[in-house]
Structure 1
Amino acid sequence: MDEQNDDENYESAEEFLSPEEAEERMKEALELKKKGNDHFRRQEYTEAQDLYTKAIKYCPKEETENKSIFYANRAACCQKLEDYENGISDCDRALELSPNYLKARLRRAQCYEKVDKLEEALEDYRIVFENDKTCHLAHEAILRLPDEIKIKHEKLKDEMIGKLKDLGNMVLRPFGLSTDNFKLQQDPNSGGYSINFQK
């Protein structure tokens, strides 16, 4: 989505805005947001996304709180359209402008989860829950994600060991050996491994 990358290019023209022009632009941006919300409610997410993009462009630079909301709204469209990477990027921008914006942080956590960035998701959920104990979504994720992260790490470890075994077999084959000749034993105290040769 090229338009999303053009947001900042538009801001250079803002240096020359008079207070009246800035006020006019803010009115226009809020009107675009309102129309975007109407489309969003009707599940017309692409149309809503375009309107939020325009709102971001019209919004004067000093209106950080409003601009943050426009980014978070566009992130919601990305989420609905399963464009999670752009959703994360828009939430990043929303949080740069308004670091305590919990809705943007929660939305980013959900997008992180969808792209399997579970550790990042958990961190965002924790911050949301620390600031809002009534957020059941964040609370549920804090209870659920640590086990999912553990499973993910185990899976990665198994994949890595599998790849190392394949590499080992390739090296040992000319000597009539395979990795099956070497037994890996974990020391329960240190957690380290020792290798024993067996014929």
Structure 2
Amino acid sequence: MSERLKSTQQVSNEEVIEDLTRDLKSSLSTEDTSEEYVIDPATSAEDILPPADGPGQTSDPLNYVHVEKDPDQKDEPDSDSDSIDEESLKDAEVDLTDDEKAERQLIAEELKTVGNEAFKDGQFERCIEKYTEGLKICPLQFTQQRSVLYCNRSAAKMKLLKYEQAIKDCSKAIVLDEKYLKAYIRRAQSCEATEKFDECLADYKKILELDPSHKEAQKATIRLPPLIEEKNEKLKAEMLGKLKDLGNMILKPFGLSTDNFKLEQDGETKGYKINFKQ
């Protein structure tokens, strides 16, 4: 088993299948080499805090980023300019006074406003740049403000169809504010755009916990289960196909193939048995 599967990090079904078949093929290699969303540019420091009438929501009037699917679009990995080294930030803040931290918070707020304006003008790369600058200067203690910066940056990345990066930013926003409804919404949308239907459904269920009246989440809990089932069936067929190919590689030296074996399910035990036919 590969080191990726041994680790505690969650991996997808596709990755499990790929690792298993790769290991088996390696062991046999000696046998056969053959809607438009706009961030309000007038955002103020008060917008960082959740309003009294909604759990974890900010003052943005709209929660959605129009999600487009492009099968030819390949998500790019995070660039160095996007990454945030929070350990370095922590070390740099050790000697800062409270007044210096407050000043940095205000600068981060101004950078967010510039980012909001860039988003409104459709300048999404510049928007990401300004939110990133804000994250690099905003003191770690201002978790809600940092959460908003991450979530806003995810909206810009979604506009550029960088859904994998958007998912990461939403996840960071949620770590900083576990009731941040908008971050769950954007992550769910990005997961659906990348066909991560299980994760998408989990986020929509969390959204309903935070806001039971959320219409899109209600619809999603009905729409997604059939998609999940369909995807799992495709994965099962793909896995069985790969296992059949590997089985034929093993049986070939003996003049046999997987066609000589028939897999039957027991109606009572639901287990499987293999029958051999010449």
The TM-score with structure 1 as length reference comes to: 0.91
Spell out, residue by residue over 1:1-41, the C-alpha distance to the aligned partner (whole angstroms, 9 max, x if none). Answer: 11232341234222222222222212111111111111111
Within a 5 Å distance, the mapping from 1:15-94 to structure 2 comes to 15-94=94-173
| Stretches of structure 2 lacking an aligned partner (at least 5 in a row) | 1-78
Q: Which letter does structure 2 place at the counterpart of 1:21? A: E
Q: How many residues align?
A: 199
SS of the residue aligned with 1:3?
coil
Q: Aligned in 2, Cα 1:171/1:13: closer, same or farther, shift over 3 Å?
A: closer
Separation (CA, whole Å) in 1 of partners of 2:153 and 2:224:
26
Alignment match, 1:184: 263
Within a 5 Å distance, the mapping from 1:101-180 to structure 2 comes to 101-180=180-259
Spell out, residue by residue over 1:108-148, the C-alpha distance to the aligned partner (whole angstroms, 9 max, x if none). Answer: 12222233322122111100012112322222221121111
Alignment match, 2:82: 4
Checking the alignment, whether the CA contact within 8 Å between 1:11 and 1:57 is kept in structure 2 is no
- The structural deviation recorded for 1:51 is 0.6
Checking the alignment, whether the CA contact within 8 Å between 2:204 and 2:220 is kept in structure 1 is yes
Checking the alignment, whether the CA contact within 8 Å between 2:89 and 2:140 is kept in structure 1 is no
Separation (CA, whole Å) in 2 of partners of 1:171 and 1:13:
59
Q: Which letter does structure 1 place at the counterpart of 2:84? A: D
Checking the alignment, whether the CA contact within 8 Å between 2:82 and 2:129 is kept in structure 1 is no
The TM-score with structure 2 as length reference comes to: 0.67
Q: Aligned in 2, Cα 1:44/1:172: closer, same or farther, shift over 3 Å?
A: same
Separation (CA, whole Å) in 1 of partners of 2:245 and 2:119:
51
Checking the alignment, whether the CA contact within 8 Å between 2:187 and 2:203 is kept in structure 1 is yes
Separation (CA, whole Å) in 1 of partners of 2:249 and 2:98:
72
- The structural deviation recorded for 1:64 is 0.9
Checking the alignment, whether the CA contact within 8 Å between 2:248 and 2:256 is kept in structure 1 is yes
Separation (CA, whole Å) in 1 of partners of 2:143 and 2:254:
67
| Stretches of structure 1 lacking an aligned partner (at least 5 in a row) | none
Checking the alignment, whether the CA contact within 8 Å between 1:32 and 1:54 is kept in structure 2 is yes
**1:99 lines up with 2:178 in the alignment:** yes
Q: Which letter does structure 2 place at the counterpart of 1:2? A: D
Q: Which has the higher contact order (CA 8 A, sep 6+)?
A: 2
